[in-house]
Structure 1
Amino acid sequence: MVEGEQSEGYLVDTQNSSLYLVGSTNSTVPSAPAHNSSEFWSSLSPAGLSDVVKQLCDALRPHLHRRASTLSSVGSVLLSGPSGSGKLMAVRAVCSCLNLHLFKVDCVSLCSDTSAATEEKVQVAFSQAQQYQPCVLLLKDIELLGRERDGLGEDARVIATLRQLLLDTDPALSHPMLVIGTTCKPQNVPTDVQTAFLHEVKIEAPSEEQRRLMLSMLTASLPLGKEVSLSKLARRTAGFVLGDFCALLSHSSRAACTRIQALSFPGGLSEEVERDFCTAGFPVLEEDFSAALEQLHDAHSQAVGAPKIPSVSWQDVGGLQEVKKEILDTIQLPLEHPELLSLGLCRSGLLLYGPPGTGKTLLAKAVATTCTMTFLSVKGPELINMYVGQSEENVRNVFARARAAAPCIIFFDELDSLAPSRGRSGDSGGVMDRVVSQLLAELDGLHSSREVFVIGATNRPDLLDPALLRPGRFDKLVYVGISEDRESQLQVLSAVTRRFKLDPSVNLTSILEKCPAQLTGADIYALCSDAMMCAVKRKVEWIEEGRSPALTCPSCWSSPAQGQRGESWHCWSLGCVRRSSAALGPQCWALG
């Protein structure tokens, strides 16, 4: 009670007082106590969504005091965000903070065959919400109301009714009417419906720190291995939202259960034992999270791909030292020293051109791994669609995913097929011209986001639209040519064969001397692939002949004549340079 305010007092006669049951009276929900921070789903300020909850509370709180203000009795907010970003959870947290009831209506159930039936269902939903006042009416997927029907355009009757319900003031209401509409595609919400909402709140993709906090709260009751690093996991899950993290924990727990079952119970489990086993719990290790991440990335991969951090290091890229330096100066410098580029004069586009097979794609992946950036690989023909406007929307979706997964590198492979010179494409509908225009508009919009870089690769730069090559877009061209000197080719060959198990007698320099001078990285890779296939065929022949490849001398390829398994096998063949002798000792060991 405020100091100085007078209140009424009451006296109760406990001997003669009677209790009468009367009709129900609308009232607010009792205030919920603060929960432990580890209880994510019941928290009033969930990690990663606390800013959204605060914005919603600030927008709705003034409408709770209708008598003291001139505000409309209907407070409305349009809440947009990606699917699974936690819109419903944010609304529930807001209702708990403001002590309000929640009345949820799925707009799919409101849609009917005729406009009159849909209009009636919308009015009934608002009337039911008034019975639970004070409450929040949650309209899920509001873009479904008033959508186009049989190609006849938007349903003007339903839109007019919904707009009237959102804007009209009813002074007879004793409690305020609050409406929150949620949508995953705000561009599909009819304009008249969108302007009827007084406020708009957007849920952005969580940052790395927000992802770490989400993982920390979601895994509070989950036994984790000592090697599990939530900070590293948050870095690898760029672009993930709340629903993706729930799927990640589910997949990782299943992977851990499968791993332990395979190790402890090779013969399988009965249903009762398996239930007890899952109830007892099991630790989730780093390998379980890695397996779950691979499954999620594969599941999310669509026509334009899913952003993820590749596993390609500079050791996999041989030679091209000058090209590496130019790329790192363009991309790594703005990330390490953002204060030096406060004027915004940074380059965000890089075009790699040169003959095919010189390692342009491998360079882009190595840069993404070195700079710990997500990598979104896009091939030009994947974005082209037969429907009008769908190709441009695919281009917009690519850049939207990259901004959500920032810092990110968008790699356009075969850029000449996606952005040819306008006016020369020859298609009747002008699809390619519109795609190029959309790509130019998205590249111009990257100046506001300094953590999204675009790398293009092509072997025909003469076919590109000239507008792409002006400063501010693909303003830096880097030539990736063929390694002509033997030293660079040796570096490429060493990079390709660094994971091979080579025989000590193999000399990479002598192999290169037998090769032509004009060898690209793809040619060297093909040479190593053919050599590995020949080795596999040779071992298959040994197995078919009954000889064990693990008991063969690497010099003379003959089977040892003496020795026992578990000991060092020696070659006793005449003429073998690695033949054992009493003076030199055993010099030949079997492969394996």
Structure 2
Amino acid sequence: MCVPTFGNAEFIELNADKFLRWPELYFKVKKIVGMVEGEQSEGYLVDTQNTSLYLVGSTNSTVPSAPAYNSNEFWSSLSPAGLSDVVKQLCNALRPHLNCRASALSSVGSVLLSGPSGSGKLMAVRAVCSCLNLHLFKVDCVSLCSDTSAATEEKVQMAFSQAQQYQPCVLLLKDIEVLGRDRDGLGEDARVIATLRQLLLDRDPALSHPVLVIGTTCKLQNVPTDVQTAFLHEVKIKTPSEDQRRSMLSMLTASLPLGKEVSLSKLARRTAGFVLGDFCALLSHSSRAACARIQALSFPGGLSEEVERDFCIAGFPVLEEDFNAALDQLHDAHSQAVGAPKIPSVSWQDIGGLQEVKKEILDTIQLPLEHPELLSLGLCRSGLLLYGPPGTGKTLLAKAVATTCTMTFLSVKGPELINMYVGQSEENVRNVFTKARAAAPCIIFFDELDSLAPSRGRSGDSGGVIDRVVSQLLAELDGLHSSREVFVIGATNRPDLLDPALLRPGRFDKLVYVGISEDRESQLQVLSAVTRNLEPEKPRTAVDAPSLDMFKARLDGAWSILV
């Protein structure tokens, strides 16, 4: 028997054990009082006016199958859009440990789930619990950390003991990378790691129902190696592709009134690198922009509290301009982080001259995008190296290509990747390429490349940091052949200082000279591009016309400057 808990706050709120109550309570009928002896019936009708229910005790069992969910409801879906593959992998990894015949398995069913922040790890775990009819016991690992190793070890053991009370259940350890770190956060706590490893590997044969463990992390490289190897399975949530982003947007906006001009396909193309949390923020900002727009047009004097409440209940359409404002706001917030990819707004009209350079760059970038079958046939994609005097428009060229091809643009200056700590510079280089793969199709633009990758053996630094950075950069460039939508463009004033290994085929093998405009026609195009956004001067009247004394004063001032 299923009894809904709607309207009863004591069943929904967290109890003393921090166990999240389900929205329904299930009762298993053991005995029916008042039945006539010898009477047999196939079923009984529960009358809320006359039937009484007496609770004798509680028992551990799986959660009964829930009723069919509405496919339009994103948050209650058993297979959420963009996360269905992850949910399937988790179910396949945990389902064998639920079988009673799998009692011979000596270790606990455990999965390490990693992914970017806001990618939907908790939502995927909840969908898995709904699919497998399991309870969910969530523990934040930050609350398990204490001042001493003994206190942390005791809290970890207590969390596993509490999970056994709700068996069969999934014990969710959120942000598991914080466990195993010492008090300063720089080293590893061997005592806590040993305890956690033992709890993950040793299964109690006395348990009739299993306790499955799922650990989540946003930074897989920060998880201690001993903890990472203790998990039997490892699942990664990747940045959603364009089709997955379109599916997420369609399900999230199913109950949201949209304007006729809003194109979810175009919006999915512009939101490269976004995850589930970013889409939620996008819808929140766009709805806020739509509310402010309608309020400014229809109610310039402001709204009262009652009118505003009725206005929000009635709903209002979200137009394309609201999404554009929300996207600009999110891109500005993301651009404050170092190396955040975004789509620039630079067109070819902002660049004067350089026609041959434009053609050569577009041929190099657009060919693999329009004909991806050439790469599968063995065509080696080449990188671009723009060299020439400073101020000739190398950065503008790269931004214009990204805007024309609708690609995200990741600008990296060479000196900002260099760090004083050992190994941090190489990690910064790896993070740049990781962000570019997540935001594909993307263009990585390395400005001042000569400061990042000079010739090895000549840098003169005592630690050999530059040599290791160059080696890491070469390894990442070679790994781009498997990624068909990440392009690399470099810019430098001194190509003679670069390491020769960077200029071999498959890396920066195509050198393009960006020089100064020498003929009058190119110079005129540059002037037209620079002044195209300037408003023309209004014609002067006879009253506003400068007098002869003003002209003499200007000439005297100019002559004094020349002298």
TM-score, length of structure 2 as denominator length: 0.83
SS in 2 for 1:83: coil
Q: Within 1, Cα distance between the matches of 2:40 and 2:427?
A: 63
Q: CA deviation at 1:445?
A: 1.3
By how many angstroms is 1:356 displaced? 1.4
Separation (CA, whole Å) in 1 of partners of 2:445 and 2:376? 25
Corresponding residue for 1:552?
Answer: 544
**Alpha-carbon deviation of 1:465?**
2.1
Cα distance in 1 between the residues matched to 2:429 and 2:176: 25
Is the 1:252–1:292 contact (alpha carbons within 8 Å) kept by the matching residues of 2? yes
Q: CA deviation at 1:108?
A: 0.3
Question: Which range moves more in the overlay, 51-60 or 341-350?
Answer: 341-350
Unaligned runs of 5+ in 2: 1-34, 537-541, 548-557
Is the Cα–Cα contact under 8 Å of residues 78 and 180 in structure 1 kept in the other structure?
yes
Runs of 5+ in structure 1 lacking a partner? 505-549, 556-570, 574-590
SS in 1 for 2:52: coil
How far apart are 1:426 and its partner, in Å? 3.6
- Partner SS, residue 54 of structure 1: helix
TM-aligned CA distance change 1:450 to 1:344, over 3 Å: farther
What is the CA–CA distance in structure 2 between the aligned matches of 1:4 and 1:444, rounded to whole Å?
81
1:356 to 381, 390, 393: 390
Looking at structure 1, the residues matched to 345 and 544 of structure 2 have their Cα atoms a distance apart, in angstroms, of 35
Q: Tell me, yes or no, if the aligned pair for 1:334 and 1:346 is still in contact at 8 Å.
A: no
Deviations 1:528-558 (A, max 9, x none): xxxxxxxxxxxxxxxxxxxxxx998999xxx
Do the aligned partners of 2:144 and 2:152 also contact (CA within 8 Å) in 1? Answer: yes
In 2, are the aligned partners of 1:410 and 1:453 still within 8 Å (CA)? yes
Q: 2:386, 2:367 → 1: CA distance?
A: 19
Corresponding position of 2:293:
259
The alpha-carbon deviation at position 13 of structure 1 amounts to 19
Aligned residues of 2:147 and 2:183 also touching (Cα < 8 A)? no
SS in 2 for 1:457: strand
Q: 1:5 to 1:140 in 2, by over 3 A?
A: farther
| TM-aligned CA distance change 1:4 to 1:360, over 3 Å | farther
1:128-161 CA-partner distances (Å, limit 9, x unpaired): 1011011000000011110143377311111111
| Post-superposition CA distance 1:363-400 (Å, at most 9, x none) | 11111112121111112222233333332222211111
Summarize the Cα distance change of 1:261–1:166 in structure 2 as closer, same or farther, 3 Å threshold: same
- Secondary structure at the aligned position of 1:366 is classed as helix
C-alpha deviation, 1:21, in angstroms: 4.9
**Distance in 1 (alpha carbons) for counterparts of 2:67 and 2:298:** 44
Distance 2:98 2:39 in 1: 22
Cα shift at 1:16 = 17
Residues 161/483 of structure 1: CA separation in 2 closer, same or farther (3 Å cut): same
Summarize deviations over 1:250-309 as a string: whole Å, max 9, x none.
111111112222222223333443333333322211111111111111111245332111
CA-to-aligned-CA distance 1:219-257 (integer Å, 9 cap, x gap): 111111111111111011000000000011111111111
Partners in 2 of 1:396 and 1:485 — Cα distance?
43
8 Å CA contact 2:335, 2:342 repeated in 1: no
Note the C-alpha offset of 1:431.
2.9
Alpha-carbon distance in 1 for matches of 2:197, 2:480 = 36
CA distance in 2, matches of 1:2, 1:110: 55
Q: Which residue of 2 aligns with 1:391?
A: 425
Q: Distance in 2 between matches of 1:102 and 1:152?
A: 32
* Structure 1 ranges of 4+ moved more than 6 A: 1-20, 550-555
CA change 1:491–1:117 in 2 (3 A) is same
User: Is 2:107–2:200's contact at 8 Å kept on the other side of the alignment?
Assistant: no
Deviation at 1:461, TM superposition (A): 1.1
Q: Percent identity?
A: 94
Deviations 1:486-515 (A, max 9, x none): 22223323333333xx899xxxxxxxxxxx
CA RMSD of aligned residues (A): 5.3
Q: Secondary structure at the match of 1:307?
A: coil
CA deviations 1:171-214 (Å, max 9, x no partner) are 11101121000000111111111111110000000000100110
1:15/1:89 Cα in 2 relative to 1: closer, same or farther (>3 Å)?
A: closer
Would the aligned equivalents of 1:383 and 1:391 in 2 still touch at CA under 8 Å?
yes
SS in 2 for 1:12: coil
TM-score, normalised to structure 1's length?
0.79
Say which is worse superposed, 198-207 or 478-487, in terms of deviation.
478-487
Aligned residue pairs, count: 513
3-state SS, counterpart of residue 104 of structure 2: coil
Shift of 1:414: 1.4
